[in-house]
Amino acid sequence: MILSIPEPTVHSMMPIANHDEHAREDITVALKMYLTENVYPSDEAVYENKAKKKFIKNNGREPQNWSEVHHLMMEEPYTKMWSSMARTLQEMLWDNQGDIVEREMPRLKTRAKRNTQVTLGTLTLNPEFKMPRYVDAMDIHAMPGGYQTSVADDDLFEGAVYDRGAYYYSKGMLGRLGESVTRAVLDVLNKLHTDLKPERILDIGCTVGRSTLPLAKTWPDAEVHGIDVGAAILRFGHARAEGLSTAVHFSQQNAEKTNFPDDYFDLVVSTGFFHETSAKGARNIVKEMFRILRPGGVVLNQDIPYGGQYNLHEQFMLNWDCYFNAEPFWQQWTSWDRKEFMSWGGFKPGNIFQFWADRDQDGKIKLRQAAKDKDCSSTRGGLGRLQFFGAVK
């Protein structure tokens, strides 16, 4: 029996699959889940019982870093097998979403016009916008066109592909509206700041607003902004938010240097964002977060975790995406201690905090104080391996 997850058709802008397209999605998700639960965990046994022994015999010592483990394991037939399958499934996922969106595009454009005739929020695009090279040089996470592509004044393609594709990429665990990570962000905020009532909120790297709308719904009286680099994803996100009767101000901006005044926001949030930037870009962005956050305000980020608390094989599995999923900054990002990173932005060490989390098969997220307190079977494609980190200004 093939695993089937519910259709994510919960808003008017969601592309709707036909029978065959949905069947292909089910096959892709079922295979992704099988790899996660039954294949990836066994790679550590291959490492311990075969590859590491071979390395010790040839070098007279154990591997000293995850890079040595990477080169060692990529010679193993077992690792090559699952690696090839993982990349192929990624391409299958996005190719199928592209087919769905191309067929659905006339309806989506008609619906977008209807949703935006009278608006609650705003959309501001910059025709002179200069795309950061770390975005424009590749199609991040192997999504054709990446975040950056926009080919017409009414183009919605990348936004539509991302919205439905992200649902299946996460195996449905983020919720049909992609809200579960932001719900975990809100859980962290409630633990730290039970009386937080922000008047101005910024979501950095908002894509189509999957992470933004839960913030706007939690604080409906707040002025909520979402920024990203791609015109098509923001155009889609605006139509999506309006269709869901949610006021968000979307604008096309580089997070390294925004047009917001100093000390403007009470809350700045990012989810799964920093690992898709660059070393220079990430440092600039955390400094910009500090600049636009008011004294006493909170910044909270969610991203793939710092790898320093994992063993070398777990670090190898964690960093697979750097080599095979168009995520070149990934492995450098996992090597950066998050508290040190926040301090680069100007935040005082005593005001910086971090949490880890695991997500179970039902999408529920459990917060943890340390990475070692975990019950996921593998850092590669595990059920949640998330880290939350931030600071008070």
| pLDDT confidence of residue 362 | 58
Fold of 7-393: Rossmann fold (3.40.50)
| pLDDT confidence of residue 98 | 96
pTM across the whole model: 0.94
| pLDDT confidence of residue 383 | 41
CA distances 175 to 90, 102, 182, 207, 236, Å, are 20, 24, 11, 16, 19
Domain ranges of the chain: 7-393
Question: What would the two tokens of residue 66 be?
Answer: 């995850």
**CA Rg value for the chain:** 21
Distance in angstroms (rounded) separating the CA atoms of residues 256 and 201? 17
Per-residue pLDDT of the chain (393 residues; tens, 9 = 90+): 456 778 888 899 999 999 999 999 999 999 998 998 899 999 999 999 999 999 999 999 999 999 999 999 999 999 999 999 999 999 999 999 999 999 999 999 999 999 999 999 999 999 999 999 999 999 999 999 999 999 999 999 999 999 999 998 887 877 888 888 888 888 888 878 778 899 999 999 999 999 999 999 999 999 999 999 999 999 999 999 999 999 999 999 999 999 999 999 999 999 999 999 999 999 999 999 999 999 999 999 999 888 887 899 999 998 999 999 999 999 999 999 999 999 999 999 999 998 877 665 555 666 676 665 444 445 665 545 678 999 999
Question: What would the two tokens of residue 91 be?
Answer: 């391409």
| pLDDT confidence of residue 190 | 84
Q: Which residues contact 327 (CB under 8 A, 6 or more apart)?
A: 140, 141, 275, 276, 321
| pLDDT confidence of residue 372 | 56
Residue 201's beta-bridge partner residues? 224, 267
Q: Which residues contact 63 (CB under 8 A, 6 or more apart)?
A: 52, 55, 69, 72, 312
Q: Are 266 and 161 in contact (CB under 8 A)?
A: no
Distance in angstroms (rounded) separating the CA atoms of residues 102 and 155? 11
